[in-house]
Copies of this chain bind each other. A is one copy, B any other.
Amino acid sequence: MSDTRTELGELGEFGLIEHLTKNFNPKREDTIKSIGDDAAVIDRGDHFELISTDLLVEGIHFDMSYTPLKHLGYKSIVVNLSDIYAMNGTPTHVTVAIAASSRFPVEALEELYKGIQLACDTYGVDLVGGDTSSSVTGLLISPTVVGRVDKDKVVYRSGAKENDLLCVSGNLGAAYIGLQILEREKQIWKENPDVQPDLSGHDYVIERMLKPEPRPDIVKALAERSIVPTSMIDVSDGLGSEVLHICKQSKCGARLFEEKIPVDPLVASQAQEFQLEPSVCAMNGGEDYELLFTLSQADYEKAKDIEDLHFIGHMTDLNSGAAIVYPQGELIEIKSQGWKAF
């Protein structure tokens, strides 16, 4: 080991993974896609297998003071499944590794597993393995999902072309607003434990944060119309960060129209309470687990009636960069504000 000491935080989450794995060149012929997309892709003869691993750490990714364990179990599976949908695939099986300190009784882990089971049942996957251990402090959950996709249907982050349409499912920014409300009530409660948290009227945004749902319905709707997106990613770190991933890997630029970014009216009004622009919540918030993808313009007619799908912009050439276009025509460059675990 050299004498240099580089702090983990200096590289950020993406930078660190990239740095640590830069010397890992796949050596097997059946490795089609390694690190760098939502899931890895393995050639299994008549189909591609997909595999993705996540990591949820107490105090970093979730706060036990407002996260019900059942919701946490549900979410840990859902965020992992979302990676498979983002490859246009179907998740089939999951494993879960859990480390828990002795602060958690068996009954707490039972709640966690109830959420895991509900997510598995809801999305038609089987839990087939895992490992459970004690930890020195806190709770840590690492789910791994495997799935499959037809070889001619797999979608990477890298396939977008100039003039392709940029689409996103559902609406964005709700999970972020949910988090702001939970954090606000936590602060109030910490300052005065007699005050009960006031979460009334915020069910929708809080549920988007604590119990998100992935979008297999969109994958299905595309398949029914024989549409294969040219690129796809799930919105886990904020729309801005995901658009930049697609741009970088597809070697394109992008134009997003600010007024086209789908934001729920509840989110828009609550964003104002926090003195936030709704579109900023969408761009920088993350944890929405919606699907962001690009379509060839030729597929527009087939795609335009898909429910809950929004056309928010288009891809450009690399040199024009990635930018949001505001209603008055102002152009703001998109910079990564993606969530950092370090």
A336 touches B (CB below 8 Å): no
| Binary per-residue interface labels of chain A (14-34) against chain B in the complex, 1 for a CB within 8 Å, 0 otherwise | 001101110110111011011
Contact residue among B1, B61, B97, B117 (Cβ-Cβ distance under 8 Å from A133) = B61
Separation of A135 and B258 alpha carbons in the complex (Å): 36
A16, B135: Cβ atoms closer than 8 Å: no
A257 touches B (CB below 8 Å): no
A54, B131: Cβ atoms closer than 8 Å: yes
* A113 surroundings in chain B (CB, below 8 A): 20-21, 23-24
A44, B54: Cβ atoms closer than 8 Å: no
A13 touches B (CB below 8 Å): yes
A264 touches B (CB below 8 Å): no
Separation of A7 and B13 alpha carbons in the complex (Å): 34
What is the minimal beta-carbon distance from A340 to any residue of chain B, in angstroms?
Answer: 9
Separation of A46 and B46 alpha carbons in the complex (Å): 9
A298 touches B (CB below 8 Å): no
| Binary per-residue interface labels of chain A (48-76) against chain B in the complex, 1 for a CB within 8 Å, 0 otherwise | 01011111011111000000010000000
A39 touches B (CB below 8 Å): yes
* A133 surroundings in chain B (CB, below 8 A): 13, 55, 57, 60-61, 341-342
B109, A8: Cβ atoms closer than 8 Å: yes
Given contacts A26-B128, A53-B131, A131-B53, contact A102 B39 (CB under 8 A): no
Given contacts A11-B106, A136-B60, contact A93 B42 (CB under 8 A): yes
Given contacts A60-B133, A134-B342, contact A140 B93 (CB under 8 A): no
Contact residue among B1, B7, B140, B341 (Cβ-Cβ distance under 8 Å from A140) = B140
B102, A7: Cβ atoms closer than 8 Å: yes
Given contacts A9-B102, A20-B113, A97-B97, contact A35 B137 (CB under 8 A): no
Task: Please report the total number of A residues contacting B with Cβ < 8 Å.
Answer: 88
B93, A8: Cβ atoms closer than 8 Å: no
A138 touches B (CB below 8 Å): yes
Considering the complex, give the chain B residue whose CB is closest to the CB of A130.
B53
A158 touches B (CB below 8 Å): no
* A106 surroundings in chain B (CB, below 8 A): 6-8, 10-11, 16, 19-20
A45 touches B (CB below 8 Å): yes
Given contacts A102-B7, A106-B11, A107-B2, contact A128 B27 (CB under 8 A): no
Separation of A130 and B38 alpha carbons in the complex (Å): 10
Separation of A26 and B124 alpha carbons in the complex (Å): 10
Given contacts A135-B140, A341-B134, contact A95 B129 (CB under 8 A): no
Separation of A32 and B14 alpha carbons in the complex (Å): 36
Contact residue among B40, B60, B148 (Cβ-Cβ distance under 8 Å from A93) = B40
Separation of A95 and B97 alpha carbons in the complex (Å): 13
Separation of A106 and B5 alpha carbons in the complex (Å): 7
Given contacts A102-B8, A113-B20, contact A59 B136 (CB under 8 A): yes
A128, B44: Cβ atoms closer than 8 Å: no
Contact residue among B95, B98, B111 (Cβ-Cβ distance under 8 Å from A40) = B95
Task: List chain A positions with a Cβ less than 8 A from chain B.
Answer: 1-2, 4-11, 13, 16-17, 19-21, 23-24, 26-28, 30-31, 33-35, 39-40, 42, 44-47, 49, 51-55, 57-61, 69, 92-93, 95-100, 102, 104-111, 113, 117, 120-121, 124-138, 140, 142, 144, 146, 148, 341-342
